[in-house]
Amino acid sequence: MAPAIVWFRNDLRLDDNPALMTAARSGAPLIALYVLDDDSAGQWRMGDASRWWLHHSLSSLADDLAQHGVPLVLRRGRAEFALEEVIAETGTCAAYWNRLYEPWAMRRDNEIKTSLRGRGLTVESFNGSLLFEPAHMRNRQGETFKVFSPFWRACLAAGGPQAPSPAPAKLDAAPAPASDTLDEWGLLPKKPDWARGLRDAWRPGEASARACLSAFAKNHALDYKLARDDIAGQGASRLSPHLHFGEISPRRVWAEIMQSAGEAGLPYLRELGWREFFHHLLVSYPEMPERALDRRFDDFPWRDDPSALEAWRRGRTGYPLVDAAMRELWLTGFMYNRARMVAASFLVKHLLLPWQEGARWFWDTLVDADLANNSGNWQWIAGCGADAAPYFRVFNPVLQGAKFDPEGVYVRRFVPELAGLESRWIHRPWEAPAHVLAAAGVTLGETYPRPIVDHAAARALAAFEEMRASSADSA
């Protein structure tokens, strides 16, 4: 029997993988293929932190497939050419994959599907990474939901997603064509080795994703609603990179949380709902990563200030919570959601720098960088997206710090030069008396920056801009 290709993409797992399951059931011997297609991704080629993750995730998938006797074939370049080559080399009669929802990938995959089918191959694609297929989740007008709450109600009314299916018990391997090696792809940093913090913080791969979910379901799913905002704590699941790379399916997460926590797990599942919401939006609004969904923001007078942008990127704004967040990102490739909101709000509302600049930096530095979630959340924070926070809502980094990191545990961890400061001043060192700063070894402007912008000014600017937008609206 002629072989079938299982084209792995952001579904780097064996469990609940409909493309793999269908290929295995077809009875054809399998070729497991991954293509690194930077050309088609263009400006959205994976950032450096994602490439680090990809290396380890592919290595883990290759090990898991090898246990079934199936080698993972690696090819680099435009996916259509890579597939053509493998098909020509092996006489493949069928190709199966799970769908991606990035605009560039949807365009590419549709063309590939049409072309292969035109040549008589069996080609099938599946939903392997969302709870619901975007085309099936519509509002009463038959359109994509633009407001989260009714969207989520509709998801719940649909009775939850399909149950996940286990990994196939048995896979038959076809003779494998030639493969690149992972090392040839150079996904890991060379000099300097900036990935030490990532290595300490993460274990990519399916087994680790399953362990992470089980530990969260057992220990934290019930108190998630309260614990998730403790910036220094462990109350959130840290599943986002595993979900992005498809090392675990959202259907598996749903099933396990429901099994362990029942209805009490719904606040957690609601967050998966946001992931879902932004993916559905991206399918309908492919311009979302670059352009505000609220068109009034097309002419927004963003500032151009490279040194302020650099201070934000490097965690040197003089606002300890923002700086801790940005340094955590640089060190570990991650930030908790609350820290992301504060740091992102600071960029757009205090510094008045374009949200796209922030999204770009996150794209390069997050291990969970995800086009839908990243651009959707940045637009939400900037107040220019679907169902976004109002523009005048400014996260106050001092109050947020006092509320969600009251003892300064998080700030001390990532901004060590402030570690000796009393908790009372840790989120506003510029207000601390001179003797307190001296006792903590802090010299503002030398050991730690003075605030690069005044919080009160940020609020005034925001209010002004909101007024401007609404008067333009009614003109």
Distance CA 19, CA 11 (A): 9
Contact criterion met (CB below 8 Å) for 124 and 25 = no
> Which residues are within 8 A (CB) of 278 and not within 5 positions of it... i.e. 6 or more apart?
372, 373, 375, 376, 377
Least distance to ligand FAD, CB of residue 148, Å: 10
Work out whether 366 is an interface residue with ligand FAD (CB under 6 A). yes
Q: β-strands 30-36, 4-8: how paired?
A: parallel
Kindly name the residue from 52, 53, 254, 274 that is annotated as catalytic: 274
Size of the site for ligand FAD (CB under 6 A): 28
* 271 has catalytic annotation: yes
Helix axes 103-118, 79-90, angle to 10 degrees: 30
Q: Which of 10, 50, 377, 379 binds ligand FAD (CB under 6 A)?
A: 377
Least distance to ligand FAD, CB of residue 185, Å: 22
* 274 has catalytic annotation: yes
Binding string, 264-293, against ligand FAD, x = CB under 6 A?
-------xx-xx--x---------------
Work out whether 252 is an interface residue with ligand FAD (CB under 6 A). no
Work out whether 124 is an interface residue with ligand FAD (CB under 6 A). no
* 194 has catalytic annotation: no
Q: Which two tokens stand for residue 444?
A: 């503002």
Kindly name the residue from 194, 337, 430, 466 that is annotated as catalytic: 337
Work out whether 261 is an interface residue with ligand FAD (CB under 6 A). no
> Which residues are within 8 A (CB) of 30 and not within 5 positions of it... i.e. 6 or more apart?
3, 4, 5, 6, 23, 24, 70, 171, 172, 173, 174
* 337 has catalytic annotation: yes
Phi, psi angle pair for 26, to nearest 5°: -65, -15
Least distance to ligand FAD, CB of residue 396, Å: 16
Q: Which of 344, 306, 314, 311 is nearest to 331 (CA)?
A: 314
**Which CB, 378 or 448, lies closer to ligand FAD?**
378
Contact criterion met (CB below 8 Å) for 368 and 240 = yes
**Which CB, 79 or 217, lies closer to ligand FAD?**
217
* H or E segment to which residue 125 belongs: strand 122-126
Distance CA 113, CA 2 (A): 19
Q: Which of 16, 247, 328, 370 binds ligand FAD (CB under 6 A)?
A: 370
Q: Which of 56, 340, 350, 427 binds ligand FAD (CB under 6 A)?
A: 340
Name 36's bridge partners: 76
* 185 has catalytic annotation: no
Least distance to ligand FAD, CB of residue 276, Å: 8
Give the active site residues. 271, 274, 302, 337, 355, 378
- Residues contributing to the site for ligand FAD (CB under 6 A): 228, 236-240, 243-244, 271-272, 274-275, 278, 336-337, 340-341, 344, 362, 366, 368-370, 373-374, 377-378, 381
